[in-house]
């Protein structure tokens, strides 16, 4: 049996718990081992949750429990999440995450630590989780030399720009609509200022080019200054405005 611990019980963490609970038998059949949710770590209590009996507040309980084989990190950020991830890997536990900030800034370090401890550090959901793209880069395309990556990497900004283009909404109105529909966070800064796309292109480039690329090395610009006048100007030239993540490997000096 493989016991799972979830770090953080917000939208993502609670969703993971629900999937394990509802699809546990199906997952267990596919991996030929029983999967069970043993702990949920959070600073809060959830007395009305069906998982209330599994909520704990001390990470060392997970860290020192030899029956926990997989830790799912859904805390976010690159401080506490990094500390707990390192401690979990050091304790011989595999870690799964969708935390693009942590992966983009400390992914190489954590992958090396996982390798040393003979466990896994998996982050497929950090970029294009529904596609997928990261595993194909590491496996299917491993024999290929990739020289350029370009793509629309952030769904929130793509929605906002699409509504500006098709419906003539101002940036502010399109953002409010995205928030009302649940496509944008209450604090959308990471999306609209380009940080989310920056972190994702760093992850993609690091895997594709074989070297660590940090977000602080990447020029980043969001969409907050885009106006309807810009949209109309692009249309007059037969173009559309999109926020792209782009990485190019320059062979001349082996830089990105």
Active-site annotation, residues = 200
Q: Look at residues 85, 92, 114, 96 and name the one whose alpha carbon lies nearest to residue 13.
A: 96
Neighbours of 215 (CB within 10 A): 18
Q: Angle at Cα 119 formed by Cα 115 and Cα 122, nearest 5°? A: 90
Strand bridging mode 121-122 / 148-151 = unpaired
Whole-angstrom distance, CA of residue 141 vs CA of residue 145: 8
Residues 6+ apart with CB under 8 A from 234: 240, 241
3-state secondary structure of 238: coil
């Amino acid at each position: 049996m493989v016991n799972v611990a979830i770090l953080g019980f917000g939208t993502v963490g609670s969703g993971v718990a629900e999937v394990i609970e509802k699809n546990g038998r199906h997952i267990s059949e596919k991996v030929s081992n029983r999967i069970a949710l043993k702990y949920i770590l959070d600073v809060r209590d959830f007395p009305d949750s069906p998982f209330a009996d599994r909520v704990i507040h001390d990470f060392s309980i997970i860290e020192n429990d030899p029956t926990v084989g997989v830790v799912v990190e859904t805390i976010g950020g690159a401080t506490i999440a990094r500390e707990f991830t390192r401690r979990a890997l050091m304790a011989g536990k595999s870690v799964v995450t969708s935390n693009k900030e942590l992966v983009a800034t400390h992914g190489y370090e954590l992958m090396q630590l996982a390798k040393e401890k003979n466990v896994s550090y998996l982050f497929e959901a950090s970029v294009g989780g529904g596609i997928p793209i990261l595993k194909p880069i590491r496996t299917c395309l491993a024999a290929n030399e990739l020289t350029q990556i370009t793509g629309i990497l952030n769904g929130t900004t793509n929605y906002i720009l699409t509504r500006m283009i098709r419906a003539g909404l101002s940036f502010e109105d399109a953002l409010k609509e995205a928030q009302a529909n649940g496509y944008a966070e209450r604090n959308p800064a990471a999306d609209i200022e380009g940080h989310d796309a920056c972190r994702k292109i760093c992850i993609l480039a690091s895997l594709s080019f074989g070297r660590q690329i940090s977000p602080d090395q990447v020029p980043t610009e969001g969409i907050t200054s885009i106006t309807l006048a810009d949209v109309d100007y692009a249309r007059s030239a037969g173009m559309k405005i999109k926020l792209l993540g782009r990485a190019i490997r320059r062979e001349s000096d082996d830089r990105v």
